[in-house]
Chains A and B, each alone.
Chain A
Amino acid sequence: MSGPYARLPGWADYGLIPIINLLVAFAVAGLVVLLVGENPLRAAVILVEGAFVGGQNIAYTLYYATSFIFTGLAVAVAFHCRLFNIGGEGQAYVGGLGVALVCLSFDALFPWWINFPLAILGAAAFGALWALIPAYLQARRGSHVVITTIMFNFIAASLMVYLLVDVLKPPGSMAPQTRTFLEGGQLPKLNWLIEAFGLSVRSAPFNISFLLALLAAFGVWVLIWRTRLGYEIRTQGHSARAARYAGIGQARIIIVAMTVSGALAGMMALNPVMGDQHRLQLDFVTGAGFVGIAVALMGRSHPAGIVPAAVLFGMLYQGGAELAFEMPNISRDMIVIIQGLVILFAGALENMFRPYLQTVFASLRPRSAGLAEDRAGGA
């Protein structure tokens, strides 16, 4: 997005500004903590300790982070094409259907290492499908992808309730969920990885899909910065007119970018469905699709930023659970506020402090603040 802002040194653009924005978001969150009559500093200590002290907590933090890496990458790929995919929640939900169908069909037949790739395909295909319709409508019929993906979130929610209550629920069961997958539909845990560092993990859902998430992050980096397709996506995102002039098929690139985005969002379902709960249940996504927006904004749509941002949000989720336990006035909804504040300050108000920084930089080093029209890169 080109803005009327002068260029800053790269480290300030990609390091300093996100950190300042994040600090402001946390400061405001601290005010909320103060408002409900708790000590923000103590809350912060509990939060960080609850997320990073002890193998158990670390495992949970990384478990949550796994989901957020997927959804963050999903939002980021669409951002590079200047598309706002708010539908990660719905795509992940439907992706869970792909995972469940594979697991329910093959869990008695094959071991997990055959079912895992199949489930990846299932999740990616279903997630991609759920993004494909909004993508097609944006590309060919000009309906705004933001609105259609919001609508598709709600349609997905209704569809999944219907499927779980009326179709997939085993007969005689009351709970709206599928049967529990057998051994072949359960991913191995990665807790040994943490125990290798000498920490103990009692039982945590941290599983092998974390490695897949890291692989996906690398894959997205390759796709966006090292392939022709990625170049076309970025061109389209930077200037649709330039892309058209360069002979890039716009409809195709929009559809491809959204499909990749949907596939990544769908793959998030592997982590909770196959890695933790071993069955498909209502609302298993629990907002991870929306957290992806905050993660992508904070990570500046770059995998190297998204992975730490996802870990940060994993920390908020896990530490937030501990916090809710320690401080009766603070429930896990505190995380929703922090998430909103991060989206506000790192996303919508990302340029709030830029002019001040520019003044500072210009007075320090006049040449660093040359009047350039566009920031390089930039999401």
Chain B
Amino acid sequence: MDAFNTVILVLDSTIRLSVPLLFAALAGLYSERSGVFDIGLEGKMLAGAFAAASAAAVTGSAWLGLGVAMIVSIFFALVHGFASITHRGNQIVSGVAINFIAAGATVILGQAWFRQGGRTPSLGADARFGAIELPFAEALRGLPVLGPIYAELISGHSLLVYIAFFMVPFTWWVLFRTRFGLRLRAVGENPAAVDTAGISVAWLRYRAVICTGVLTGFAGAYLAIAQNAGFVKDMTAGRGFIALAALIFAKWRPLPVMVACLLFGFLDAFAIRLGGTPLPIVGRVPVQLMQALPYILTVVLLAGFIGRAIPPRAGGEPYVKER
């Protein structure tokens, strides 16, 4: 029974840890499927987290925090769009720039506004998204096996967690069952064909980039006002890049994205839980190896040793109308 509880606890924290990855990876999915590579997920998430925490601290409302997070993330996404769609700049360079601007600006503004060394004030319960108890969670807790699973794993998360997992089928539906999704995927594979059909490549890509902004806003808000109670310097800590890894790992498809994010979240939760205690067969695994595992797995995947990750064909290429 004790082992079972441990498993439940690890899985519970897996869910919590994979939610920001899931938002960010789905965010990247929209952008990259439309042919705009985005390594600025990290920066947008960070800016979103800071915006969410600041707005929630000032207004005391979690919803306003979420709204402001989205606005700020969308702004950064539009800067990326402006550089890479309108001015046909290098998308990688633009993403790198956004990461730096966000990393610096959040600390400078945080220090100037709140004077707590780059932190935002600690948030009260109202200014955060609290846990939601699903119906009958307590009543069913006593049931063997299923009770704890329902009460711990499924119930008792913040609203944003449920939104994150809802976004997976929703994204699938948008991409594969709507006209917008079809065009979005087409513009990432063959923008010339889309252009010939009389659809604006730039406007489509801008809409994709805005979707990215919305979702990275969610990711940041989750970090700052749901998982934690405020913003701290560099709080994304590379999650944007792990999300990118998950996106590649999932070969740019929504459902595998969820699986990859859960896997990477599990690795993280497992590493935290393990904390250097020896494992049965393999002995003591360095924590650092566990931390590096998502990156190593992604490299191995990219190298084509486990399947093959083929990016959208027009990804990274600015579209130039034939003259």
Contacts and interface: CB of A to CB of B under 8 A. Distances in A.
Interface string B222-264: 0000000000000000100100110010000000000000000
Contacts of B245: 147, 151
A137 B303 contact: yes
Contacts of A194: none
Interface stretch (B133-141, B211-219, B288-296): B288-296
Contacts of B103: 333, 336, 340
A178 to B, nearest CB: 17
Interface stretch (B55-63, B104-112, B154-162, B172-180): B104-112
A281 to B, nearest CB: 16
B311 A333 contact: no
B289 A343 contact: no
A333 B102 CA distance: 10
B105 A347 contact: no
A290 B96 contact: yes
Interface-central residue, A144, A159, A352, by most chain B CB under 10 Å: A144
Contacts of A187: none
A151 B302 CA distance: 11
Interface string A1-45: 101100000000000000000000000000010011100000000
B97 A151 contact: no
Given A151-B295, A329-B112, A348-B93, A158 B288 contact: yes
Contacts of B83: 344, 348-349
Interface-central residue, B104, B245, B296, by most chain A CB under 10 Å: B104
Consensus secondary structure, chain B interface: helix
A297 B93 contact: yes
A348 B97 contact: yes
Nearest to B101: A340
B288 A161 contact: yes
A351 B86 CA distance: 10
A35 B93 contact: no
A221 to B, nearest CB: 23
A180 interface: no
Contacts of B102: 340
A151 B111 CA distance: 31
Contact of B286 (A166, A290, A344): A166
A76 interface: no
Contacts of B248: 147
B320 interface: yes
A35 B88 contact: no
Interface in A113-145: 133, 137, 141-144
A329 B118 CA distance: 10
Given A162-B288, A290-B100, A148 B302 contact: yes
B79 interface: yes
Given A151-B298, A151-B299, A336-B104, A343 B109 contact: no
Contacts of B304: 141-143
A53 interface: no
Contacts of B209: none
B101 A337 contact: yes
B93 A154 contact: no
B51 interface: no
Consensus secondary structure, chain A interface: helix
Contact of B97 (A137, A159, A330, A344): A344
B299 A331 contact: no
A293 B303 contact: no
A158 B292 contact: yes
A349 B87 contact: yes
A270 interface: no
B94 A344 contact: yes
B123 interface: no
A339 interface: yes
Interface residues of A, number: 51
Contact of B112 (A37, A86, A146, A349): A37
Contact of A141 (B109, B291, B292, B303): B303
Contact of B101 (A4, A161, A341): A341
Given A35-B109, A159-B288, A340 B89 contact: no
A147 B303 CA distance: 11
A166 B98 CA distance: 35
Nearest to B83: A348
Given A340-B99, A343-B93, A148 B88 contact: no
Contact of B104 (A133, A159, A335, A348): A335
Interface-central residue, A37, A159, A348, by most chain B CB under 10 Å: A348
A84 interface: yes
A344 B101 contact: yes
Interface string A141-178: 11110111011101100110110001000000000000
A220 B125 CA distance: 58
Contacts of A183: none
B96 A293 contact: yes
A283 B73 CA distance: 29
B92 interface: yes
Interface-central residue, B83, B96, B105, B107, by most chain A CB under 10 Å: B96
Contact of A154 (B107, B108, B286, B295): B295
A349 B89 contact: yes
A246 B280 CA distance: 57
A350 interface: yes
B299 A340 contact: no
Interface in B184-237: none
A103 interface: no
B248 to A, nearest CB: 6
Contacts of A161: 288
Interface of A: 1, 3-4, 32, 35-37, 84, 86, 133, 137, 141-144, 146-148, 150-152, 154-155, 158-159, 161-162, 166, 290, 293, 297, 329-331, 333-341, 343-344, 347-352
Top 10 nearest A-B pairs (CB, nearest first) are A340-B100, A336-B104, A337-B104, A348-B94, A143-B302, A340-B101, A348-B89, A36-B112, A344-B97, A158-B292
24 contacts: A84-B92, A84-B93, A143-B299, A143-B303, A147-B302, A152-B295, A154-B295, A158-B288, A158-B295, A159-B288, A159-B292, A161-B288, A162-B288, A162-B289, A293-B96, A329-B108, A333-B103, A333-B104, A340-B96, A340-B97, A340-B102, A341-B97, A344-B93, A349-B83
